């Protein structure tokens, strides 16, 4: 990658198109999810190396439970393998893993694997990998609202304490705003991904299916980000 390019501080990736990637090759949809794991591992190494500080990955939405139970179970088992084995290399790569999303109704086995990778990588400082699993923006806003109402009810805060910074700090994780959101596969929507955090993000919708989203595709995305003129409501 060209050294003069600005690397977005916080990148969101909606990893979409696994099923179509497989179907177009005459394979089962699940094969697309499997290939996506390889793509993701390479991408994590690449992002850590080029200096991305925060990356939020959309792995499973609150709505994805609507899928065929077999596909949901396959994904849950895949998550366990990823967090128990496939992601072990992140410990030495300086990547800190955190999760955003509702723990309920995830199984104990999935939760245990999640908790372990968080624990194993908690001291890492290079890249924060925020994995959005059983995540939905609406759920996050509901859960945050309840948390804040509780604080108010217990006399811990006053109404005037609630401002943008306070809301941000009380979301599932206290993260900087998203600068750049990439959604692979050509779909042009957020599908309930980090609506609060994406308020001033730049959006990029490559047609590439996620399993084919390699470092060359990532470089193209960064180049596109560098051609954007971010104004944040001001004049420039």
Contact call for residue 19 and ligand IPE (CB under 6 A): yes
- Going by C-alpha positions, the residue among 231, 212, 213, 232 that lies closest to residue 222 is 213
Structure tokens at 88: 């072990």
Q: How far apart are CA 28 and CA 171, in angstroms?
A: 36
- Going by C-alpha positions, the residue among 42, 47, 50, 43 that lies closest to residue 4 is 50
Sole binder of Mg ion in the list 11, 12, 16, 55 (CB under 5 A): 16
Q: Which of 64, 124, 134, 192 is catalytic?
A: 64
Preceding peptide of 200 cis, ω within 30°: no
Taking CB under 6 A as the binding criterion, the range among 2-10, 16-24, 44-52, 156-164 that sits at the site for ligand IPE is 16-24
Among this protein's residues, is 160 annotated catalytic?
no
> What's the min distance (Å) between Cβ of 36 and ligand IPE?
7
Q: Which is nearer to ligand IPE, 48 or 75 (CB)?
A: 75
Q: List the single partner that 135 binds among Mg ion, ligand IPE, none, CB under 5 to 8 Å by kind.
A: none
Among this protein's residues, is 64 annotated catalytic?
yes
Q: How far apart are CA 236 and CA 228, in angstroms?
A: 12
Give the burial class of 34: count Cβ atoms within 10 A of its Cβ; 0-12 exposed, 13-18 middle, 19 or more buried. Answer: middle
Q: How far apart are CA 175 and CA 98, in angstroms?
A: 11
Q: Which is nearer to ligand IPE, 51 or 186 (CB)?
A: 186
- 165-194 positions binding ligand IPE, by CB under 6 A: 185, 187, 189, 191
Contact call for residue 100 and ligand IPE (CB under 6 A): no
Taking CB under 6 A as the binding criterion, the range among 11-19, 76-84, 122-130, 141-149 that sits at the site for ligand IPE is 11-19
- 71-90 positions binding ligand IPE, by CB under 6 A: 75
Sole binder of ligand IPE in the list 39, 56, 61, 100 (CB under 6 A): 61
Q: List the single partner that 225 binds among ligand IPE, Mg ion, none, CB under 5 to 8 Å by kind.
A: none
The answer to whether the beta carbons of residues 61 and 192 sit under 8 Å apart is yes
Q: Which of 2, 9, 16, 173 is catalytic?
A: 16
Q: Which residues pair with 99 in a beta bridge?
A: 131
């Amino acid at each position: 990658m060209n050294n003069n390019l600005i690397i977005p501080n916080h990148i969101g990736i909606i990893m979409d198109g696994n099923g179509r990637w497989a179907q177009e090759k005459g394979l089962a949809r699940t094969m697309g999810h499997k290939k996506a794991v390889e793509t993701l591992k390479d991408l994590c190494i690449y992002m850590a190396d080029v200096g991305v500080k925060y990356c939020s990955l959309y792995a499973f939405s609150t709505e994805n439970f609507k899928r065929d139970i077999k596909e949901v179970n396959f994904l849950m088992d895949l998550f366990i393998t990823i967090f128990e084995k496939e992601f072990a290399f992140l410990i030495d790569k300086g990547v800190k893993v955190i999760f955003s999303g509702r723990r309920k109704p995830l199984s104990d086995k999935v939760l245990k694997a999640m908790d372990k990778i968080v624990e194993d990588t908690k001291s890492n400082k290079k890249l924060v990998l925020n994995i959005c699993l059983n995540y939905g923006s609406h759920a996050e806003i509901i859960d945050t609202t309840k948390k804040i109402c509780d604080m108010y009810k217990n006399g811990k805060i006053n109404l005037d304490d609630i401002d943008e910074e306070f809301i941000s700090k009380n979301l599932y994780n206290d993260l900087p705003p998203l600068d750049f959101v990439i959604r692979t596969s050509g779909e042009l929507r957020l599908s309930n991904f980090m609506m609060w955090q994406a308020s001033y993000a730049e959006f990029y919708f490559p047609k590439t299916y996620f399993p084919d989203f390699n470092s060359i595709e990532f470089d193209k995305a960064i180049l596109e980000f560098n051609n954007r003129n971010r104004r944040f409501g001001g004049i420039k």
